[in-house]
Amino acid sequence: MFVFWFFHRPVVIITDAQLVKEVLITKNLPKDKFGYSHLALLFGERMLGQGLLSEVSEEEWHWKRATLDPGFYRPSIVGMMESFNMTCDSFLQRLETLADGKAEVSMAEELVRINLDVIAKVAFDLDLNSTNNPDTPIPINIRIALEGLIQSFRKPFMRFQPSTFGYQAKCREAVRFVRGVAKEVIEKRLKAKMKGEDQHNDLLSHILLLPERDSCTTMDDMVDHFMSFVVGGEETVSNHLTFLLAAITSHPRVEERIVAEIDEVLGSRCAMRYEDLARLKYLEQASKEALRLHPPEPAITRVANESMTLGDYHIPARTSIMVNAYVLHHHSNYWDNPEEFDPERFSASNQENVEHYAYFPFSLGRHTCIGIHFAHVETKLLIARLLQTFKFNLLPGQDLKQMEHMTLSPKNGVRCTLSLR
């Protein structure tokens, strides 16, 4: 444990597994307004508002989470498999046009597009098709808004700098555009619901239940949840897909074993069934190891809601507390050779050696990411079908290091050539 000062505010950094348990499980400390409030507005424009990601009231968060949770349960995910596969089909068809073994492809860019297409189609029945039409306005404006969010996080005083006012206006316009699209999608589904038409069992159908739970829920409130899932999933899952693909393709023995597993599970089939996912055990191990090395949420902020003791230290009330997943995931106290990519860490025979509170890529406790199961399904399906279809060859000399904004992302795009298997 140590402390750093963010201007006048002390922030306690937690790097011990047992203190992680105390902060996130035992005491279940609330979200820190100081850490999450910047997600609600982007340069004064409502961005995520009071969605799950940015909601800091425990009472409000709890009932919203309880309403939306069933959208990620097994029955809902099973019903989404057709949409998962159809979106993946379109993606693979595009990549086949580039699979000549010569064309340079940035897989980071490609995976950003397919991930956004998956989220839009599977969660909201919205056809973006950005993999084939990268210049369509919805993904462009989502990227502008997300980049603005990252910049506002990195440069908290940016909004006061006149030289950035034009950029801020561009970001606000992008947010208004995306929220406008979200409103149209919600209104269309509401009209269909009022007409008694069959409803998709997707995330949007559960968002529409919010006004039934609380009559004070407004259209803006429902749009907040649309934005939260799109923004929260767009950056984190696409980064994980890219890191995982890079790790697999740069470790030939791992790749060979995963491809053999995929062939055994899928055979000549392309479409993946829900029950196939559990059989891709070694791919799951590799995915967990990539999440260890590159956690989507490298740090989690909480606040001491009263004076308390953590370890041997007194923590005054209202002190910000940051649980550092990245440090714990790379700490030699908990992992042998922590910088090495080794899927065997998560094999069935090694599970007892994994310190539970030193591994939390999607947070822990009540605030564990609501989309964790969705992300695991998407990861297995996309990576399995990519490796079933293509051989990826990383271009030599590129730096595969990561860079950190709000999340961890690959530095240089993971450039490679593709050939059909």
d(CA 21, CA 25): 5
What is the β-pairing status of strands 320-324 and 9-14?
Answer: parallel
Structure letter (DSSP) for residue 298? S
Which residues contact residue 17 at a Cβ distance below 8 angstroms, ignoring those fewer than 6 apart?
A: 328, 334, 355, 356, 357, 358
Tell me the pairing of strands 41-42 and 45-46. Answer: antiparallel
Residues 6+ apart with CB under 8 A from 38: 149, 152, 153, 156
Measured from the Cβ of residue 343, the count of other Cβ atoms closer than 10 Å reads: 24
369 is in an annotated binding site: yes
Q: Are 188 and 222 in contact (CB under 8 A)?
A: no
What burial letters (b/e) apply to 81-113, b meaning 16+ CB within 10 Å? bebbeebbeebbeebeebbeeeeebebbebbbb
Closest CA to 31 of 297, 296, 356: 297
Q: What is the DSSP letter of 247?
A: H
Backbone angles phi, psi at 278, to 5 degrees: -65, -20
Residue 59: in which H helix or E strand, if any?
helix 58-68
Residue 351 per-residue DSSP state: G
Taking the CB of residue 346, how many other CB atoms lie within 10 A of it? 21
Angstrom distance (rounded) from CA 343 to CA 282:
7
Q: Which of 230, 368, 354 is nearest to 297 (CA)?
A: 368
In the annotated binding site, the residues are: 369
In the annotated binding site for heme, the residues are: 369
